Structure 1
Amino acid sequence: MKIKYYFLTFLCVLCAALAQAQADIAVNEDAFLVQKAITVWGDETSSEKLMSAQCQAVRITPGWLLTAAHCVYDFCRNNQNCTVQVDVVSAPQDDLAAQVRVRSGAQKKNVFIFPGYNPRQNRSSSFDVALIRLAPQERDWAFFAPRGGKRFSREQFEKQLDVYPESRAQWNAKRPRLLTFDAAVSARLTPAIAVPRVENGGVSWLYNAGGQAYFISELQHFVSTDFGVRQGNSGGGVFTADGQLVGVVSMSFTGKGNRMQFKEADGKAVSTLQNADAYFVFTGFTSAVSAFIRGHVPGVFSVGAVPQAAELTNEKFTRIIKTLDNAQAN
């Protein structure tokens, strides 16, 4: 009987440990339903070779998407004619999809890039954001069954949402709350962060269980340890595990000899990362970025990140990088 008791006790302890481990990495999957895959291209009537960009975006209100400026810059800057295709609903298990094409140009502007964004400056990651207004004509929508290719009217599509909960959840996803960072000093994010990605109709995510991410006051953007964020995640959201939006994926660090030098606005060098590919950066909702978003989307939800999701620190960039280096070494 004692052997049986000890064995059952061991099982209970093991189950509790597994449950705790799952709790430690639990994320609010429903919060990621606002994440959308987008494809961007230029004017199809151009004689130049047609190019496109595959990125991610976050639907912050029913009528607006947030993405990275570098995803749309080459095609939509200076009021050029461009098209953004958005996978609004992509649920292969339901065999149901909804796509919309947003057209932007001088006559009708629906893509708005943060003023002054310059992709040739690595400091641009502090405001690597753009907004996409969902203001298409009815003919720009496509409702269809991906496997069979059957087309639907909007009315037919919306009727099917009653029997397809996954598609309905994507169509009616609740807008996220933006965590704003209006601090004059650096801050450390206290919750762990997750980076979702929509691909082939499925939503997966990368999770930084260590929660090692800092807002850098000298650079006005976030630096995080690398946890698998790669090309294709650009423009997507960086969320807390419970679904609040912290920022937008900007870029991984790359540079000659795996080194990247960072400079302040006046051109003064701040620091040089020696192992640049061990990090990625994302654009947070600073006062400038928040003002840009609210100027176009007045109904967006936002709340200050300090103190509920970040703690202020007087550490400088070099010290923060040393802390992140140590976190990755352990």
Structure 2
Amino acid sequence: MKQLRFYLLSLFLLGAGYASAQDAFDYAQKEYELTFTVRGKTQTVSCQAVRFHKNWFLTAAHCVSPCKNYSCQMRMWLAVGPARAAAVLSQKNVFLPDEYQDEYTLPPGVQPRRGELPAWDMALIYFNARQARYEYYDAYGKVKEKDFLLTLDRGFWEKKTDEALKESARLYEQSRQYAADGQAQIARQLTEQAQALEQDADEYRAAAEAAPLLKRQWDGAMAPRLAPLLTYSDKDEKFLLSNILVPRWTRGAFEMLSSPRQILYFGDNAAPWLSAGFGVEKGNSGGGVFLPVYNGGKKRASGLVGIVSAKSLNQLPEAARKRYALYGSEIFLFNGFSENTTLGFIRRVLTEYRDTPNVQPLESYGQLKEVIKKTAPKTAKKK
């Protein structure tokens, strides 16, 4: 009963978070934990990953870089909340670009290059939902699959609510009879039992309301809706006129962040985009950056324009910071899909599995405005 009560109370408390995701991208974005052991020390980190293919997730390379040279295991949370379901993935499921460097991919004592735009902070996670091994949890540890599936069934909780209220009514009637017979102590005990059942019924009602939203997470993991990767190959710097959206799940709570300013693309060879800082923080790394398209006030479509990289903040060259001072001291970078870097890496890896990413031109989704025209400097004419 204690274990069941945890399900119910947590569903009640987290219901508001699930509800806010109804018009968001929870069908594609997931939270995961990576556990790895380096030189005898075990560490666990949490990041985001966004699904762009039925068998593939994108994340930040710095989130999974220990998997290149060290033992690691990943839990991809497919349903997060009172009852949690995780796909268990091993080191062989993670793919990193050869060009990416950090303290985990380089030999001990060797420092990564600094002062460069981090075009390679992007990695791939292979995940086949139909073949994956799953684990199910609550606050007390692992649970059986059948117990997890019960939390997704609204009818189950509605039946439990009805049963609890009927039993509570029966106990109240018995309590009145014992009180009339002068057996006050028994009557008081029966009343307390009836009140406890009423509390259970309230929790069952909350669970019935939350169950469809938890089920939506699970169903979305099994049969996801996927946003295309948005790309273009123009090498000039551009402004993206539309706002971007950065969704994330954190321990079952959902939030959606949006940028209030124009976004600057550095060009095909660099891949990163630049924006003002707008609340993206630790834990967002690896999450998707979406470009919504609206028609008549309603969301018509969405595309994936990049992947969040928290480490990007410290690697922007000082010259670029000065040049784009209009963004302020807080600068947010995320990696886009460049044919020469990130998109090329994605295509190379997927080709080995005979999978093809859905790639569409950015011009079809948002307007681009040229910032700087790269022309040769003019020379003075000789007299």
Q: TM-score, normalised by structure 2?
A: 0.62
Which structure: greater helix fraction?
Answer: 2
1:176-206 Cα deviation digits (max 9, x unpaired): 2211132221222222111112111111121
Q: Which runs of 5+ in 2 are unaligned?
A: 1-19, 103-111, 155-210, 293-298, 375-383
In structure 2, do the counterparts of structure 1 residues 162 and 185 end up closer, same or farther at CA, with 3 Å as the change threshold?
Answer: farther
Give the letter for the 1:246 counterpart.
V
CA contact 1:179–1:285 (8 Å) conserved in 2: yes
CA distance in 2: counterparts of 1:83 and 1:276, whole angstroms:
39
Alignment correspondent of 1:246? 305
> C-alpha root-mean-square deviation of aligned residues, in Å?
3.2
CA distance in 2: counterparts of 1:116 and 1:124, whole angstroms:
13
State the Cα distance separating 1:246 from its structure 2 match. Answer: 0.9
Alignment correspondent of 1:41? 35
State the Cα distance separating 1:84 from its structure 2 match. Answer: 1.5
Q: Which runs of 5+ in 1 are unaligned?
A: 1-25, 263-268, 318-330
Task: Report SS of the residue matched to 1:290.
Answer: helix
Alignment correspondent of 2:73? 83
Give the letter for the 1:294 counterpart.
R
CA contact 1:215–1:221 (8 Å) conserved in 2: yes
1:73-103 Cα deviation digits (max 9, x unpaired): 1x1124x32112111111x3xx332112211
State the Cα distance separating 1:125 from its structure 2 match. Answer: 2.1
Alignment correspondent of 1:199? 250
Alignment correspondent of 2:362? 305
Alignment correspondent of 1:296? 349
In structure 2, do the counterparts of structure 1 residues 253 and 30 end up closer, same or farther at CA, with 3 Å as the change threshold?
Answer: closer
1:146-173 Cα deviation digits (max 9, x unpaired): 25756122x6655764643223322223
State the number of aligned residues: 269
In structure 2, do the counterparts of structure 1 residues 316 and 69 end up closer, same or farther at CA, with 3 Å as the change threshold?
Answer: farther
Q: TM-score, normalised by structure 1?
A: 0.71
CA distance in 2: counterparts of 1:188 and 1:157, whole angstroms:
46
Structure with greater Cα Rg = 2
CA contact 1:77–1:113 (8 Å) conserved in 2: yes
In structure 2, do the counterparts of structure 1 residues 156 and 55 end up closer, same or farther at CA, with 3 Å as the change threshold?
Answer: same
Does the alignment pair 1:116 with 2:103?
Answer: no
CA distance in 1: counterparts of 2:285 and 2:373, whole angstroms:
27
In structure 2, do the counterparts of structure 1 residues 206 and 310 end up closer, same or farther at CA, with 3 Å as the change threshold?
Answer: same
Task: Report SS of the residue matched to 1:296.
Answer: helix
The percentage of aligned residue pairs carrying the same residue is: 28
Task: Report SS of the residue matched to 2:227.
Answer: coil
Alignment correspondent of 2:277? 226
In structure 2, do the counterparts of structure 1 residues 124 and 270 end up closer, same or farther at CA, with 3 Å as the change threshold?
Answer: closer
CA contact 2:77–2:85 (8 Å) conserved in 1: yes
Aligned pairs for 1:84-233 within 5 A: 84-90=74-80, 92=81, 95-104=82-91, 109-119=92-102, 120=112, 121-134=114-127, 140-144=133-137, 146-147=138-139, 151-153=143-145, 157=148, 161=152, 163=154, 164-171=211-218, 172=220, 173-208=224-259, 210-217=260-267, 219-233=270-284
1:114-163 Cα deviation digits (max 9, x unpaired): 2201243353522210011125997841124x25756122x665576464
